[in-house]
Amino acid sequence: MGEIEVSHREIVKPSVPEPGLQRQVLAHNANLMLVRHQMQKGWQGERHSHPHDQLVYVIQGHLTFTSGPSTFEAKAGDSFVVPGGVEHQASAVEDSEVLDVFNPSREDYAPVRGLE
């Protein structure tokens, strides 16, 4: 059985993978990864998909999400699941912050935290 590893927010440095988006990879193991994203008003992510299931919880702000032909709004307190393989896109209607949980962990995010 493994030990519990704590990810202290003030120690885990955020990255800026693209203008208007800040990413902070928090606690994770091989099966789960917790990521904090902060988006500036007007930010629009690229339409993309990934094999990971993604659970999204909006901490603050207002976002628009598009998946296929459907678009919906998500505000503080809202949550939803993006199944792996589903193409999606997000944009920030106002400054926003979300917590994302990925299953399994995203290996492409791990180097941000120096976990290669």
Mean pLDDT of the chain: 91
The three-state DSSP-derived secondary structure of 31-48 is CCEEEEEEECCCCECCCE
Fold of 15-108: Jelly Rolls (2.60.120)
pTM of the model: 0.90
Would you say 55 and 32 are in contact if contact means Cβ atoms under 8 Å apart?
no
Residue 116, pLDDT above cutoff 80: no
Q: What is the pLDDT of residues 55-104, one digit of tens each?
A: 999 999 999 999 989 999 999 999 999 999 999 999 999 999 999 999 99
Residue 2, pLDDT above cutoff 90: no
Could you give the CA distance from residue 44 to residue 97 in angstroms, rounded to a whole number?
A: 14
Structural domain boundaries of the chain?
A: 15-108
